[in-house]
Amino acid sequence: MLADSQTPMSPFSQRSRHDLEENELTRALTRAKERGEVLDLTVSNPTTAGIAPLSDRGRLALASASVATYAPLPFGLPETRAAIAASTNDLGISLSAEDVMCTASTSEAYAWLFSLLADPGDTILVPQPSYPLFEYLAAYQSVRLVPYPLRYDGAWHVDLPALRELRAREPRARAVLVVSPNNPTGSTLKADELEAILDLDLPLVSDEVFLRYPIVERATPLLSALTATRGLVFVLSGLSKEAALPQMKLGWIALAGDRALHDEAKARLEVLADTFLSVGTPVQAAASVLLEDAHLARDRILARTRTNLATLDRVVAGTAATRLHLEAGIYATLHLPAIADEDTWVHTFLDAGVYVHPGAFFDFHEGPRVVLSLLTDETTFARGVGTLAATITTLVG
């Protein structure tokens, strides 16, 4: 029996503790929807955005006879790994199927790599701004995230001096994470930045799920860390973004860099993968067809994001808002005048019937900023940014 001064011990871990209360913006969104139509400019799910990514061939492949046979292979079926490796050919990369490991998602890939590279209490260096999911993944693996800054001076770049200083004062740093193209800045890793990060002598984890979505047509592919010939490099991607098929639950880790470092990494990862065996057989059996047809959905997404970006630039031209430079991905960021703070801007837009992400959601710290999804259907997007522009003009006066 507990003494009066003692409190019962919680049956739950500290790392599973989260603030489950709805924030004020979520409550405000609910109230706005009760009042009437809300134009949602945060749409990021291609399966509900009118993209229709799954082809007829893909549906047939998912129903092939081979899906009835279970082959518990830790890194996935050989033909699946070969299809993933072959899909990088158009990026100018020659990838071996032996260096591909299938996962159920990029989130699972992160969890595996955090377990592979870091012990509880170790640190992972991560970009800021970036997507907030990393905080949850790190908490569940009992590792600590330490941010390094991305700077904006008309274009985005990694603050390499700050990153080097961070590396020097973080003795428990175990890896550097990059997201290229970054979500939500749309910035991409440059060759000199890649080399500088490899110089830090830490494993590199490069999230490249949006690599095939350049916002401006290019003669050459965007840079992939798969081109690295030194260091220990893990590159992540998956069907969720590459083929606009988040429901298929197939991601992957590809190894690059110094081949002498690969063997032990693969041996340790194999035990991890064999522990979970999480990737379903049907999606693996269909992977080659899904990847062959992935360009169909990507082409539609690229057409939409480029159309919406042109609409955004045309509509906000002449207002007090500034659209930040981006190179790839599906998001655009607006910098707003400081006559109001960010929360006030977001709630004012919501009162006008338009929902946008506050910059703080992605750890922006400079001035009021909002983030819009270019994946939103064109009609809704045009109406929404028209309302944003009118609201900005009215507030600025």
The predicted-structure confidence for 29-40, as pLDDT tens digits, reads as follows 999 899 999 999
Read off the pLDDT of each residue in 80-108 and give the average, rounded to a whole number.
96
| Three-class SS of 130-194 | CCCHHHHHHHHCCCEEEEEEEEECCCEEECHHHHHHHHHHCCCEEEEEEECCCCCCCCCCCHHHH
Strand partners, 176: 125, 204
pLDDT score of 141: 93
Per the prediction, the chain carries an average pLDDT of 94
Q: Give CA separation, 118 vs 42, 124, 203, 298, in Å.
A: 34, 8, 11, 35
Give residue 3's pLDDT band: very low, low, confident or very high (50, 70, 90). low
Side-chain half-sphere exposure of 89, counting CA atoms within 13 A: 9
Q: What value does the CA radius of gyration of the chain take, rounded to a whole number of Å?
A: 22
Give residue 5's pLDDT band: very low, low, confident or very high (50, 70, 90). low
Quick one: what percent of the chain has pLDDT higher than 90? Answer: 84
d(CA 163, CA 99): 28
Give residue 7's pLDDT band: very low, low, confident or very high (50, 70, 90). low
pLDDT score of 1: 46
3-state secondary structure of 18: coil
The CA-CA-CA angle for residues 375, 150, 378, to 5°, reads: 10
The predicted-structure confidence for 46-58, as pLDDT tens digits, reads as follows 999 998 778 899 9
Q: Give CA separation, 42 vs 90, 190, 311, 333, 356, in Å.
A: 30, 28, 16, 12, 6
Domains detected in the chain = 22-51+295-396 (3.90.1150.10), 56-292 (3.40.640.10)
pLDDT at residue 203 greater than cutoff 70: yes
